[in-house]
Amino acid sequence: MDICDLVSILPLLILAVWACVLLLIDLFVPRERKSITAILAAVGISVALVFNLLQLGEVQQAFNGMIVLDGFAQLLITLFLAIGLIAVAQAYDYIKRRKIERGEYYTLLLFTLSGMLLMATAGDLVIVFLALELLSIPLYVLAGFARPQLESEEAAIKYFLLGAFASGFVVYGIALVYGATGTTSLDGIMASFSSIEEAPMLLLIGAGMILVGLGFKVAVVPFHMWTPDVYHGAPSSVTAFMSIGAKAGGFAALLRVFLAAFPELSSAWAPIAMWIAALTMAWGNIAAIAQKNIKRMLAYSSIAHAGYIMIALPAAADPAMAPEALRAALFYLLGYAIANLGAWGVVMAMEKAEGTGLAIEDYAGLSTRRPSFALAMALFMLSLTGMPPTVGFIGKFYIFRAAIDANLIWLALIGVITSLISAYYYLRIIVVMYMRVGEPETRSESWLNATVWMTGIGTILFGIVPGPLLALASHSWLSSLVP
């Protein structure tokens, strides 16, 4: 190990070390002034973000190839750190109102972010597993942070048990891949195909088990069962962070592992990925129609959007299409993060101190009581539906185009049909806000309001002028895809 290795993971080191330091500092922060811990957490994330931006454009491998810093990793690290800043801002007032303000909340958030950063840069299956656990274990605790509320405790135990089960699949899959190839390095696995005429069954089973474990993390069908209950029971600030942060982290590993290590097995995993994407889009949108609680509705919505992003994996099975499919997936993740975090911000503003105010009918009359929030929520719903001129429309356009260019026309058609289905439950929110009479209670909290307005502006701005996000996605390549 040399200084260059440490420099390549500097944002990760800053977050992890700062989380440990913050854990000690918090011991001396009075209970009534835990906002100091929030501010210090935001400072740590901001410093990590600055160092990451200074590294943009560099391509390097560290720790004997176990860490890979390329355009793909740098974009995702930037996205994760931006999500972390928004998550701290949204939680700042929310956890006070819910009377669950404890300093360890922000420390756990930093540890989870560290796992996401490690996931984005993983160049070895062992690092993928370590990142998965570093990402997941703090989230298990955060899901139960509203103790002794029964729903929160139930969310934590369900997430923990099913998460541990999924991690077992990943570990066993890694063991089988190592047994078949003699290495856990992604580049080494790829190189091993040159010395074998036909992939052994051991390798195919191992790749399949890794797909199952990572499929749980991104919540695709049939590994989605935990999502509605966990999203519903966890504090809304945790759910908002989990719904995009954990999902993006899972897709970071899924795309890198299968495109960098297993492209030669694409004839085996691509058909499975196609059907997973199709079933996920269909079930997520159909199940969301029946939901009366907005957190559960957004949970099924999150499942559906995992299906849309999943389209990129089989589309990238063709090496010639891989860069375009990867760009489409990254752009979709960026657009989804903006709209989804904004929607959860409105949900937090509507939620009462005792955890009520989450029924869709509670949004009746929001357009007269808080016109700005109603307008922002309408924009978020339109973006999640995929309607112009929002960033969600551009995201779906590129993901469907990638499918069509890869000759997966039937998959793109299912995506279009399920998007039409989603319009029913997304537009229902707008109808309730603007066409039903009610007196909803909303919270005027500066930091939470700022995140809603900022994401609302981003939703419409990047829908009209998507160039900056497209440029980011276009320069975010996997090093393994560059000749």
pLDDT tier for residue 224 given thresholds of 50, 70 and 90: confident
As a whole number of angstroms, the distance between CA 374 and CA 50 comes to: 34
pLDDT value at residue 197: 62
Q: Which of 232, 225, 33, 227 is nearest to 149 (CA)?
A: 232
- Estimate the crossing angle of helix 125-143 against helix 104-121, to 10 degrees: 160
Structure tokens at 322: 């891989």
**Is the per-residue pLDDT at 190 higher than 80?**
yes
**Is the per-residue pLDDT at 478 higher than 70?**
no
pLDDT tier for residue 1 given thresholds of 50, 70 and 90: low
Segment among 191-200, 333-342, 453-462 with least mean pLDDT: 191-200
Q: Are the CB atoms for 436 and 374 separated by under 8 Å?
A: no
Strand partners, 67: 62, 122
DSSP symbol at 242:
I
Which runs of consecutive H residues, i.e. helices, occur in 144-235? 150-181, 186-192, 201-218, 227-233
Q: What is the pLDDT of residues 419-447, one digit of tens each?
A: 999 999 999 999 999 888 877 777 677 78
Strand partners, 185: 124
Q: Are the CB atoms for 339 and 312 separated by under 8 Å?
A: no
Q: Are the CB atoms for 384 and 305 separated by under 8 Å?
A: yes
Q: What is the pLDDT averaged over residues 169-198?
A: 85
Structure tokens at 267: 């004839």
Q: Which residues contact 39 (CB under 8 A, 6 or more apart)?
A: none
- pTM as predicted: 0.92
Mean pLDDT of the chain: 87
The rounded percent of the chain whose pLDDT value lies above 90 is 47
pLDDT tier for residue 482 given thresholds of 50, 70 and 90: very low
Q: What is the pLDDT of residues 281-309, one digit of tens each?
A: 999 999 999 999 999 999 999 999 999 99
pLDDT tier for residue 483 given thresholds of 50, 70 and 90: very low
Strand partners, 60: 69
Looking up tokens 């695709």, which residue turns up? Answer: 220
Q: Are the CB atoms for 214 and 254 separated by under 8 Å?
A: yes
As a whole number of angstroms, the distance between CA 142 and CA 342 comes to: 20
Looking up tokens 């069954």, which residue turns up? Answer: 201
Q: Which of 204, 278, 213, 280 is nearest to 250 (CA)?
A: 213
Q: List the end-to-end C-alpha distance of the chain, in Å, as a whole number.
A: 27
Q: What is the pLDDT of residues 351-405, one digit of tens each?
A: 876 667 788 888 888 888 888 889 999 999 999 999 988 999 999 999 999 999 9
